[in-house]
Structure 1
Amino acid sequence: MQIHQTAFTTLPAPASQLGESGAWWKGAFYWVDILGKTIWKWDPQTQETCKRDVSSPIGTIHPIAEEQDQLIIALQHAICRFSFADGKTHHLTNLESDIPNNRANDGKCDPSGRFWVGTMDMDATPHCGNLYRMEKDHSLTRMVSNVSISNGIAWSNDTMYYIDTLTSIVEAFDYDNATGTISNRRPICKIPTDLGYPDGMNIDAEGKLWVALWGGSAVARIDPTPGKITDLYRLPTSQITNCTFGGDDLQDLYITTAKEGLSEEQLAAQPLAGKVFIIRTTAKGKRIPPKSLNAQNHEHQNL
């Protein structure tokens, strides 16, 4: 395993309480502060950063194909279409509204544009969450049950990779792109406890996995075939939450972080906690498949 003491820059935005879920789309980078109930956007051309507020914790975002600044978002108990330009939402479907202490966590679209989103207990009580796939009619199909902290998800050809953080394991499923079904669940790589816990995940053009390490001050690059960590990219703060390839050539890795769970002493020692980091890599990311939605029949709601 090669350890990199990484050169980095940070985005000109306030530190997030719990930064997460980055997406590079049409020349801009979007991310969320889950507990701050905000969606952020950074435009590298203008160097401008702006935000929109939502009314509940927001677990994840993903771009929608039709227009600029249109996102699908998972709030605590709802999946919505969101317009960043005016901050308005279209409600699409409820998400575990019958489980008050659960909330949406990480999610992403598969290669065919199906939206997948996981849930977790607000207090991280084990086995209270699930992983869902949203259907064309916006209904939800439960794909994985009894999850503790549903987190990183990525696809490569006929494989879906998935993380339930408290297991410390990156798993794989056989994946059928035609139907969106998964099967043959199996472990790929167990993260040693001294490296932290696996959190958000992305995949590069070579099929290697990039995993944020909560409590580990690093992002790990994993070769899933032998199931080994090949590279570790060190950062100056401990709570690393997610990583997303961006930039015109998809070689910049945008890394979200958090202040949550850090003591006053730790925050003093980690002044960049909660910031978004950018590191330049020799790898190249994969372009994310946008979500295609027809929300014309849904009225604006202030969620």
Structure 2
Amino acid sequence: MQVFDDTVCTLGEGPMWHPERGELFWFDILGKRMMSRGAQRRDWAFDEHVSACGWVNRDTLLMASASGLWRFDIPTGDRELVTALEAGNPVTRSNDGRADPQGGFWIGTMGLNAEPYAGAIYRFYRGELRQLFDRITISNAICFAPDGTRAYFADTFSQQIHTVGLDAHGWPAGEVEVFVDLRADDLNPDGAVVDADGAVWNAQWGAGRIACYGPDGSFIRALDVPTSQASCPAFGGHDATTLFVTTAAVGVQDINAGKTFYGPAGVTGQREHQVIL
């Protein structure tokens, strides 16, 4: 993998390729920043933690922060609150999030200091924010099967990636199951994305890699990332065959730590799904 952008993020996260703009958006959560690189180089600073987004239309994002979900106008940088997100809880902030094939947006929260079981995972869909899972320590790996029938998520603290079936409207249906158990290998699942064939690509914090698992949970292969704290992958480029990876510099003395990388995935990813407000 090569350096896509050498901006050093204390905690890089939430990469999202905007398919209509041909532009990558990502976040430095601890730096309270959002960045994009495409035809233009853009950087926005905020007064609270920001962590993930989905695209609504060419000029609008749904952006997650510590206090809410926001309609964000890309050309002007203006934002308007759509719904509060644990706004009355000073312990938590938003973390991993991604749009689902039905047009919903899943967003996880966690404690500012990774307080045990302080976080949760929510879904925003057509005006409704609903809590799906609680007692989450570090919400991560939110991603979806291409046909919209299955979701994946992780609590990094548990060292497991879980999966749950979805109904026709994208709400969880059925029991949560373990998709991949990483405890035996002492690996820590961070952000994840699913390719067009249904394989799950998972950043593994501290291991310097993105691991690929088949739809049945079997290990396929891993891509090395040139710094240990890979945090989240995203497919992008004009044909969705480029894999972008955010990383984190916090606690690491490494020339590549915190930079954003890219390289050929060898597969085709899903186009980022559009959020329906």
Question: TM-score, structure 1 length as denominator?
Answer: 0.86
Residue correspondence of structure 1 range 70-89 to structure 2 within 5 A? 70-89=60-79
The aligned counterpart of 1:49 is 41
Counterparts in 2 of 1:53-202, with a 5 A limit?
Answer: 53-65=45-57, 67-68=58-59, 70-137=60-127, 139-156=128-145, 157=147, 158-178=149-169, 180-192=171-183, 194=185, 196-202=187-193
Amino acid at match of 1:240: A
> Which of 239, 247, 250 is 1:260 aligned to?
250
Partner of 1:166: helix, strand, or coil? helix
- For residue 48 of structure 2, give the secondary structure of its aligned residue in structure 1: coil
Q: Name structure 1 gaps, 5 residues minimum.
A: 1-7, 294-303
CA separation in 2, counterparts of 1:280 and 1:134?
A: 32
Q: Does 2:202 align with 1:211?
A: yes
The 1:33–1:115 alpha-carbon spacing in structure 2 relative to 1, beyond 3 Å, is same
| CA distance in 1: counterparts of 2:73 and 2:192, whole angstroms | 25
Tell me, what secondary structure is at the counterpart of 1:11?
strand
Contact 1:59-1:104 at 8 Å conserved across structures: yes
CA distances 1:223-273 after superposition (whole Å, capped 9, x unpaired): 131x222111112211110000011111100000001132xxxx1xx2010
Alignment-mate amino acid for residue 264 of structure 2: R
Give the alignment partner of residue 22 of structure 1, picking from 15, 36, 50.
15
Report the residue type matching 2:97 in the other structure: G
Cα distance change on mapping 1:195 and 1:206 into 2, 3 Å = farther
What residue number does 1:4 align with?
Answer: none
Distance in structure 1 (CA, Å) of the matches to 2:45 and 2:126 = 27
- Structure ID, larger Rg: 1
1:11 Cα deviation after fit:
2.0
Could you list the per-position Cα deviations for residues 182-213 of structure 1 after superposition, in whole angstroms to 9, with x for gaps in the alignment?
32100011124656310000000110000001
In the alignment, what sits opposite 1:38? 33
Moved more, 17-26 or 170-179: 170-179
Q: Which runs of 5+ in 2 are unaligned?
A: none
Share of identical aligned residues, percent?
Answer: 29
1:276 aligns with one of 255, 260, 265:
260
* TM-score (norm: length of structure 2): 0.94
Following superposition, the deviation at residue 136 of structure 1 comes to 2.1
Two-structure CA RMSD over aligned residues (Å): 1.5
Distance in 1 between residues matched to 2:209 and 2:170, nearest whole Å: 35
Would you say the 8 A contact 1:208–1:221 is kept in 2?
yes
- Counterpart amino acid of 1:277? F
The equivalent of 2:270 in structure 1 is 286
- Paired letter, 1:172: T
Mean CA deviation greater in 187-196 or 202-211: 187-196
Shift of 1:281: 1.7
Tell me the secondary structure at the aligned position of residue 173 of structure 2: strand
